[in-house]
Structure 1
Amino acid sequence: MRLFTFQLFAWLWVLTSPITALATHQVGGQIEMVAIGDVPGHYRIIVTNYLEDGTQGISRQSSTGTLGIFRISDNARMLTFTVQQTGLKAAVTYSNTYCASQRNLKFVVWTYQATIQLAPGTYNDTQGYYISYQTRNRNAGINNISNPDQTGFTFYLEFPALLQNGQAFANSSPHFGAINGEYVCIGDNFKFPFGGTDPDGDELKYSMVTPLNQKTTGQNTVSAGPYPDITWLPGYGPNNAIPGNPSLSVDPQTGELSVTTTQLGLFVFAVKVEEYRNGIKIGEVRRDFQLLVVDCPPQTTPDPAVQILNLPNIMSKTICQGDSAILKAAVDTTWNYQWRLDGINISGATNPTLTVRQSGEYSLVVSQKATCSKVGNSEVLTITVIGNDAKLSVAGHLCATTGSVSLYATSNVNVTYQWYRDGQLLSGLPSIDSMQTSQPGKYWAVLRERTLGCKANTDTAAISRSAAVTAVITSASGFNRICPSDSLQLNASGGISYSWQMNGTKVGTTSSSYLASQAASYVVVATDIFGCEGTSSPVSVTQLAAVVVTFDSIPGVCGPNVPAYPLIGSPPGGTFVGAGVTDSTFSPKLAGVGNHPITYTVKAAPECAGTVATRIAVVAPIPTIQLANSMTTYKGNTFTMNPVYSGNPVQYQWASATFLDSAGKANPLVMDIQNDITYTIDVKNSTGCEAKDTISITVYERLFVPDAFSPNGDGVNDTWELFGIEAFPEAIVTIFNRWGEVIYSSGKGYSNPFDGTLNGTSLPSGVYAFTLYTVPQKPVIRGSLMLVR
């Protein structure tokens, strides 16, 4: 018996018990991406789901599914879309129906589709893109993976960039035909030609891989990769998914699966189908499978004998399109019959004879009606139908006024060719399998077989011209002029790639934008997704002259309470901006005290950046001086004048300069003063704002200390006055009684003269001693005073 499997198929079977009638598990599935062929980027997405045929479970199966498209380079999501169920479920055909019914094997195929339009210019990443469809769940009876009932599926397909080297890249994913429903007998050498076909003639390579699990736990969720692998149980892996001698493997060129099993069970495995064009990988599809291995009773294997009616011992026949051939087998009422076309079970073909009208390789599988045993396989009968495979393929495209298309007619027999357009025979063409045209129309070929004389028409190819490419140039600024010291971005539309010309010379790249840096005539040639070209009207770009901007100086003012004054800039028409500016007037009052930058901006054109001149408007503070009106000192004293200034003065002038170490300092040193004097300080800040102040200094020649006073309240001589003490602000006076106790101490300065009391109590009349410290460099004065009551 040969090995038969499902496309993306997961056999869900528990060896020791039948599948529950109401259960429905996801058995497998696949994604296909078919180029519709009318417009680049127009695709039909097909999702094939294989399910257990549980009546109630199937009724709950969703009629839609959600898929995502992602960029391979960074897993960025490009699109989410929904596929819809296309029709009623179809049953999977078994060659040994008795054994299938005994084991309650019954599976259905549901197909979902969606038509999507992808923009080639958006899908241009060189690493390509992928589509994923995630669903769940697997059968709990699987024997080679961990937690199978908690493990889902990820159907996965990769496709290349749709725009390559400025041209649309046409491609469809591999196609996989119908599948048979079978189980595997332990110990038998099973083989199954599992390879698909590629609509574009690309090379397909096959390898065993680990199946993908679902990334999330929801049903039909959409999330970016990478996707997790299923978890193998110990001893299993991608190259030992089904134990055998040899274990399950796939032919890397043909896709044929083979295994000689050594262990009963239900086993998961997966095959990766990679798509190559000119030696470069452009895509892949991952297909997930499960196979049930059972112990088949050792019954006698039926040996069917087949032939073409009336042609014994001849294994092939050629017939004309519309004719038929009858295939017949030996009749045995104890046998089940199942005819196959190209290795796939033909639904309903269960009789000993079969009438065929289609080209292909036919074979017969027979099995015992009442016994579940091994099956017998017949030899292959080949039927060739003249014109059955007569297909047209088209290469090229007709642009609005240019272009050509090559048409190719394929046939696997020796035929002659006649070409037709719009129902009219194209005379003068050689009888070969191809032709070239530059005219639109509906084309087909009539094929005549040279031996039998059969005639057959190919399918019809409708060739039409695409709309003219309208190339248009617009400037990003809206004006066709270049601003001074700048460039102008020109934008092109109408195509997917572009060629720029300046004064008839090619410049730039294939980008849709170009930075024009000089005055010239610019043209762009736009190329659309078909490779058709259109040339724009010339766009003349001019260069604006540079603007020379001047801004008259702004006089500084003292304080904000001065009138506003005009600002003057050239050329006229510019804009003044800054604190205190209204139109072309500057108001110190609005601006306030400070240094205010004012700009004058003139644009060569409204869209241009302005040329800017800047001035500083100074509203200076008016200086102030904090200086006492007068002071006293003693003759020969040296001290520093310490006025407090505000308003940022920078010039200082004292008058007179007598006794000063410098008349131009802010804080001059008064040295060895000898007599009374008046000083005037005159200050100015950098703006010229001025302030003056005056101080009069009284100089005492000596200090007079009275030797008595009479604190009797008569208003005369009631306190001990020290005449000239003002000249000694650091003076300290201390008075003692006869026992040397301190009864008075002034601290620094003699601001509260001694009044003959101690703590508010009058002291008795008598003589009291005192000490007087005037300045540190002079000796202490000692003496006595008489207090008279």
Structure 2
Amino acid sequence: MQPFVNRALLWLIMLGFAFPALATHQVGGQIEMRAIGDLPGHFEILVTNYLEDNYRAAQTFGGPVGIFRKRDNVRMLVFTVSETGQRQRVVFTNEACATSKNQRMIVATFSADIQLDPYLYNDVGGYYMAYQTQNRNDGINNINNPVQTGFTFYLEFPALQKNGQNFTNSSPRFTSVNGEYLCINEAFTFPYGGADPDGDELRYSMVTPLNRSGTGRNMETTPGPYPDVQWLSGFGANNAIPGSPSLSIDPQSGQLSVTPNQLGLYVFAVKVEEFRAGVKIGEVRRDFQFLVIDCPPLATPDPPIWATSLPVGTEFTICKGKSLELQTTLNKDWNYQWRKDGINLPDATGTKLTVHEPGQYSVFVSLKTLCGKASGSQNVQVNVVDLTSDITSAGQLCATDGSVTLTVLAGNGISYQWYHNEKALTGNANLYQATQPGQYRAVLTQPQYGCSYQTADVALTRAAPVMAAIQSAQNKLCPGGSLSLEGAGGVSFAWSRDGQAVATVSEPAFSVQTAGSYVVEVTAANGCKAVSAPFVVVQIPGVDVKLDAVPSVCGPDGPVFQLTGSPAGGTFAGPGVNGAQYDAKAAGIGNHVLTYTVNFAPECPGAVAQQTAVVAPIPTLLFPEEIITSPGKSLTLNAEMTGDPVKFAWSPPTYLADPTEAGARVEGIEDDMVYTLSVENATGCQADASVVVTVYERIWIPTAFSPNGDGQNDVWELRSIEAFPEAEVTVFNRWGEVIYHSKDGYAHPFDGTLKGEPVPPGMYTYLIRYEPKKPVLRGTLMVLR
């Protein structure tokens, strides 16, 4: 043993010189965002922080967390996480390693309960949250100035509302990590993956750890982007721990693997991306660190595991509430560390382990006092038969019928015995159909392992009778009307008429239009049913009411008419009606609705017949006194009309395209004409009027006028120029300059002024173009003052 002891002491001395003994603070961790599930946007935020177990860790109590919008880094919220629960130490497989390198670590959990408004968190780009702290370990060998390098815990999450619908998501969840060390040139694997509570796909990759963005000792809530730590030369995200191969992660499982070839303490980071239906919706960063040591050449053998007093095996089954003792070989020079599902168990460092829970158990052994490579046993699977079950019930015992299905835990190899009022019932199933009130319980047995469980009693009682009824103000149905029936006694309703179900009605209110015998089946909130007594609806026979027509009248001075309706005994009403008479003059011009109402039953509104009495206006026509045109022209004759005429007749038809049009089209007129229009409206009221059409062949041109403001001859009046609407008139002075020009048919006659100033008296010349194919008219004009 002496050579080995000397070599081990030498190794411990070299290890002490190889790495600084200064212990500082941050080791690793991550943020988790867990949906509570009661309200949209309600979350528990967990910050898991791995710390060196020293006075600096004792001063860490949580701090602010900032939420920011990814699109523009706008800060949405700042909240504080505080410590919950008791701090737990990180269990090393070989505690000698933790002691020799001051690598004792604890895990502190900080949390907060927050409520986010989905209406505010609806940006398609998503959001991120960050928790920042300072000071990594001074002994880290792969980044620059680690003691002055900070730490940013980082998480991304999607919009809480998409397309107007709430979007539910929780981030991945992670179990505690083991305290592990790596032996140089030895292959090493480490389960670093998580599980997604929503069943989303997780993808893993190595990334550079994040530094903090602020300075000083204060916790920061500054927005991103956050700076990376500064790698030393030769290191990077995919070479955080040098080796052959260097540190890498399985992109699907999240398992780390490395065969290190260089001693040191190395920090690394893993990005865990969350995908749903192939689309990325979130991201979490996880930081941690590993120590690479030169393990002593001596190693312990792989320890065996067996169960006390049981045959040798790798799988054991116990009943819930029972225990199983696992043990391994005793060696006074060995250090023991038991694991459950790959995680080191606190204070499980003996040769025996009493287990109560299901899982995979193993034990790792290493030499006491030396930080060397540990050897692991085979995995032993422990199963627990848990027959614990409550009786669940579905159904209802009604007043006279009904049943309740009682159900307990189902499983292979389980036998069941049901009891009613302490009397055993027949059958061997995990459910029983109860039809009688009383006390029920079940005993579950797993004969193979001798496990048994008796449930608590469940009391069943019958419900009170359901009282179904139909209510209505009356039972008589008026012609063409409806009657409202109201079902009572339950929460759902099924109506029938004359024994036939009315499939379209399931509400308590039923508006019926048909006579018959109605019943309603009601269902109470407990599922019990009842049928009402029949409710008979009687049809009241109707009457055929008539009102004789009233002749139409032209003009406001109409006569008085006697009104006639059947059957007798009714009431007349309407404009101009007095008793059984209709006075057209009193009613006045218009279309008047007259009614005759017969009240045939006190339960029903009166039956009504109606007629429209027309007092039509006498049409009126209005033409201009004279219409002037020139030979061969076409024009349209229109009259201003009242009285709504519908028939039109022009005479004589000479030059007319259609003498029955309201606006007569005159085509190619050559002679003076007098046209008469006769009209008639829908009531037969008539009227006529005439219009004179004068045809001028030339324009009468005065040779002088006196624009002196005396009201006589103040403008140059060109008679009959109205017959030539396209006439163009120009007046020139003695020097040939234009002093007046009109292209609008002489609508604005020449008044002896130019630009508002009187022209001098004297002789002027003119030129008139009145027809495109006619010669131009030229002459002189004397302006007198």
Q: TM-score, normalised by structure 2?
A: 0.49
* Relative contact order, higher structure (CA 8 A, sep 6+): 1
